[in-house]
Amino acid sequence: MFGYMGKILEVDLSSQSIKDIPLNEKDLKPFVGGSGLACKIMLDRLGTAIGGIDPLSPENLLIFMTGPLTGTRVPNSGRFEVCAKSPLTNIWGEANCGGRFGPYLKFAGYDGIVIRGKAEKPVYLDVDNGSARLDDADHLWGKGTYETQEILKKDLGDKRMSVTVIGPVGEKLAPISCVMSDRGRAAGRCGMGAVMGSKNLKAIVARGAQKVEVENKEALLEVVEEASERMDEEVSTDMFSSLGTSGYMETAEAYGDSPVKYYTESTFEELEDIAGTKMNETVFKKAYGCYGCRISCGRVIETEDLGETEGPEYETLVALGSLCLNGDIDSIYKANHLCNDAGIDTISIGSTIAFAMYLRDKGVISREDTDGVDLTWGNSEAIVEMVEKTARREGFGDIISEGSRAMGKKYGKEEWTATVKGLEIPMHDSRGYFALASGYATNNRGAVHVPEQLYQIEMGSPIEEYDIISEDRFVDEGKGIIAAKAQDYFGLFDAATICAFTWIRPTHLAPIFNYVTGFDYDIDSLLVTGERIFNTKRIFNNLCGIGKKDDCLPDIVLHPIEEGGTEGNVPDVEKQLKEYYEYRNWDWESGKPKKEKLKDLGLEKYASLIW
Ligand code: SF4
């Protein structure tokens, strides 16, 4: 079995049983690995029960999964996926993470870990070169993610290891909590930290020295070289290498992609003060990358207050910056560090704090509601204080920790939230790039940006092989199909698992898959594989009650903004969805994939679950 280690670790925390399960070879070519295989496993194990499962109950499955490319010589293949039913959205949840944990899990001899049940008291899982055991984590419970990682590394004394961990917020089951790895790398979205916390699982250690065998090493290296040269031609490769993702801020504002003042504006006069260039000129220490990365978009910074720590990404700078009208970059460094240590998704918390400011602005909440903290636009001290309160789930911080939708419900303004299916919209505005509209409305997690790369496509990076080409970012025609194809293609990256910033084209990805696994994908079957995976997750969501009614954008992002890069444009979501549904062959009334589509994709056995 090339590209795979051939087994999954199955852990039942209730009974403390651990066993090896062989990978089902029949599932590999159609579902690849990563979140594709994880969703297949969940559907097979849970079936129609999925809809009724409480995400924070022992019955929910928590799956850590790598893919065939993880830990190989393919560039940027140091990723892994964390999947579960999400406590934030109550539908399919997944979060992708960089660092080194994915490769180390394979070096430890496993393709993935399936976790169910709940430990009686805090434990951590030590996966060590072909075997695994549970150890007491009482001494780690309550500690931040940085300290927990340091303690485990020191105690286990193994240089070749990686740790993935939750912080106090995940322990306290906050729906906006994340899973952290290799210091500042986050599996950020969908509340995966709370699922881990609900199982009393503080951390997972992966260590080992096993090799990932590939089918044809020489041919693989040759095509990797070609793909890398092509990748280097992308503008984003150079931008992310030299400035990190924060290097995109000025461009984002020029295109109207970067939301300001809770999606009500698109220009921010203090942008220069929080941009990547500012970070580079002042506190930048060094760049760092995930395993095997040739871009190294990570930034290590050093400030008087924090010492050496990870610098904020583009998403964080906008979510805790311009979205809140906050031009104080030091407060963003601090809030980012606090979020990483507590294990909080910076997109969700930034957006939820901005929503609270919006509610205050509209007179829905007052200073008393926010524990006396003056949560008004641009108040950087209040933002940091709210992050601290959220980390402790204390007072108004407890309300923030539930996410925007829950806050909206509490104050009778759910329809005002910038969420899709309960997930906070990331820092890319569909009024600047129309394809994001149907992309956000239909993504299986709710609104997410990385897996579809639609903003890059709208900026002029086409995928010619699939005719994914946008000639005008402000037209709706064709965007439904572009969104669907991009979801299918880039969904493969989360199955493979490689970083979406890699921009490997299908012409290179098909042979890369083949030289690693020995399978026989071509460009067309690659896209069908992505389509199968996307529809599998849609079935999961249909079982959770998701239908056409949920494929929409919130009102707040559908108002024209005359000033700035969106130029007063607003996408027509329904128009795009008509095209999207037709392309996908989904039923317009119910939002389910039609039976014949499921049959075409080899998913007919799941048709009876939803029809
Ligand atoms: S580009 Fe950035 S996120 Fe992607 S693998 Fe490299 S360092 Fe990690």
Whether residue 112 has its Cβ less than 6 Å from ligand 1? no
Q: What DSSP letter does each residue of 493-559 carry, written as one string?
A: HHHHT--GGG---HHHHHHHHHHHH-----HHHHHHHHHHHHHHHHHHHHHTT--GGGS---GGGSS
Q: Which helix (H) or strand (E) holds 18?
A: strand 17-22
Positions of the chain with pLDDT lower than 50, given as ranges = none
Per-residue confidence (pLDDT) for residue 451, from 0 to 100? 65
Pocket test for ligand 1, best of 236, 499, 504 (most atoms within 8 A of CB): 499
Gap from CA of 205 to ligand 1 centroid (Å) = 21
Q: What is the pLDDT of residue 88?
A: 98
Between vectors from CA 299 to CA 245 and to CA 251, what angle results, nearest 5°?
25
**Using CA atoms, how far apart are residues 26 and 533, in angstroms rounded to an integer?**
15
Residue 297 beta carbon below 6 angstroms from any ligand 1 atom: yes
Please give the number of the atom of ligand 1 that sits closest to the Cα of 291.
5
User: For 7-207, which CATH superfamily applies?
Assistant: Aldehyde ferredoxin oxidoreductase, N-terminal domain (3.60.9.10)
With DSSP H G I counted as helix, E B as strand and the rest as coil, what are the percentages for the chain, rounded to 5? 45, 15, 40
pLDDT at 151: 97
Please give the Cα distance from 611 to 603 (Å, whole number).
13
Nearest-atom number in ligand 1 for the CA of 99 is 8
Q: Give the span between the Cα atoms of 66 and 74, in whole angstroms.
A: 14
Ligand 1 centroid – CA 289 distance (Å): 6
Give the pLDDT confidence score for residue 85 in this predicted structure.
98
Q: What are phi and psi of 286, to 5 degrees?
A: -160, 160
Q: What is the 3-state secondary structure (H, E, C) of 470-490?
A: CCCCCCCCCHHHHHHHHHHHH
What would the two tokens of residue 267 be? 């220009």
Whose CA is closest to atom 7 on ligand 1? 289
Q: How far is the CA of 94 from the centre of ligand 1 (A)?
A: 18
Residue ranges of domains in the chain = 7-207, 244-423, 428-610
Residue 153 and residue 151: Cα distance in Å, rounded?
A: 5
Would the CB of 290 count as within 6 Å of ligand 1?
yes
**Pocket flag, ligand 1, residue 98 (CB < 6 Å):** yes
Stated as kind and residue range, the H or E segment containing 82 is strand 80-85
Which pLDDT belongs to residue 198?
98
Would you say 428 and 455 are in contact if contact means Cβ atoms under 8 Å apart? yes
pLDDT of residue 342: 98
Pocket flag, ligand 1, residue 296 (CB < 6 Å): yes
Best mutation site among 290, 294, 315, 450 for ligand 1 pocket (most ligand atoms within 8 Å of CB): 290
CATH 1.10.569.10 fits 244-423, yes or no: yes
CA of 183 to the centre of ligand 1 (A): 14
The 3 state secondary structure assigned to 273-323 is HHCHHHHHHHCEEEEECCCCCCCCCEEEEEECCCEEEECCCHHHHHHCCHH
pLDDT computed for residue 404 by the predictor? 98
Tell me if 323 sits within 8 A of 351, measured CB to CB: yes
Q: Is the CB of 391 under 6 A from ligand 1?
A: no
Q: How close is the Cα of 98 to the center of ligand 1, in Å?
A: 7
- Does ligand 1 have an atom closer than 6 angstroms to the CB of 293? yes
Pick the residue whose CA is nearest to atom 8 on ligand 1: 290
Answer whether 186 contacts ligand 1 (Cβ < 6 A): no
Which tokens hold the place of 121?
Answer: 């008291």
**How far apart, in whole angstroms, are the C-alpha atoms of residue 605 and residue 36?**
16
Helix/strand/coil for 96: strand
Cβ–ligand 1 contact at 295 (below 6 Å): yes
Phi, then psi, of 243 in degrees rounded to 5: -125, -5
Q: Which CATH number fits domain 428-610: 1.20.1530.20, 2.40.10.220, 1.10.599.10, 3.30.565.10?
A: 1.10.599.10
Residue whose CA is closest, atom 2 of ligand 1?
A: 297
Which residue type sits at 368? E
Q: ipTM value, please give it.
A: 0.99
Predicted pLDDT of residue 237: 87
The finding on whether 34 has its CB within 6 A of some atom of ligand 1 is no
CA-nearest residue, atom 4 of ligand 1 = 499
What backbone torsions phi and psi does residue 161 show, to the nearest 5 degrees?
-150, 160
Ligand 1 pocket, 76 CB below 6 A? yes
**What are the C-alpha distances in Å from 603 to residues 50, 387, 593?**
17, 44, 10
State which amino acid sits at residue 133.
R
Pocket test for ligand 1, best of 96, 237, 295 (most atoms within 8 A of CB): 295
Nearest-CA residue for ligand 1 atom 5 is 76
Q: Which atom of ligand 1 is nearest to the CA of 294?
A: 6
503 CA distance to ligand 1 middle (Å): 11
Q: What are 587-604's pLDDT values in tens digits?
A: 999 999 999 999 999 999
Task: Give, for ligand 1, the residue of 97, 291, 293 to mutate: max count of ligand atoms closer than 8 Å to Cβ.
Answer: 293
Element housing 593 (H / E): none
Per CATH, 244-423 and 428-610 having the same topology is answered no
Res 234: pLDDT: 81
| Separation of CA 241 and ligand 1 centre (Å) | 9
- Helix 479-496 to helix 523-543 angle (10° resolution) is 90
Residue pLDDT, tens place only, 298-335: 999 999 999 999 999 999 999 999 999 999 999 999 99
Instruction: Give burial (CB, 10 Å; 0-12/13-18/19+) of 184.
Output: buried
Q: Pick from 247, 263, 80, 266: which is nearest to 163 by CA?
A: 80
Q: Which long-range contacts (CB under 8 A, 24 or more apart) does 227-230 make?
A: 227/75, 227/504, 227/505, 227/508, 227/509, 227/512, 228/75, 228/294, 230/503, 230/504, 230/505, 230/508
* Cα–Cα distance, 99 to 542 (Å, whole number): 33
CA distance 96 to 200: 21
Enter the tokens of residue 581. Answer: 């549904």
Q: What pLDDT score does 453 carry?
A: 84
Strands in 98-218 per DSSP E: 112-116, 123-128, 131-136, 161-165, 179-181, 185-187, 201-207
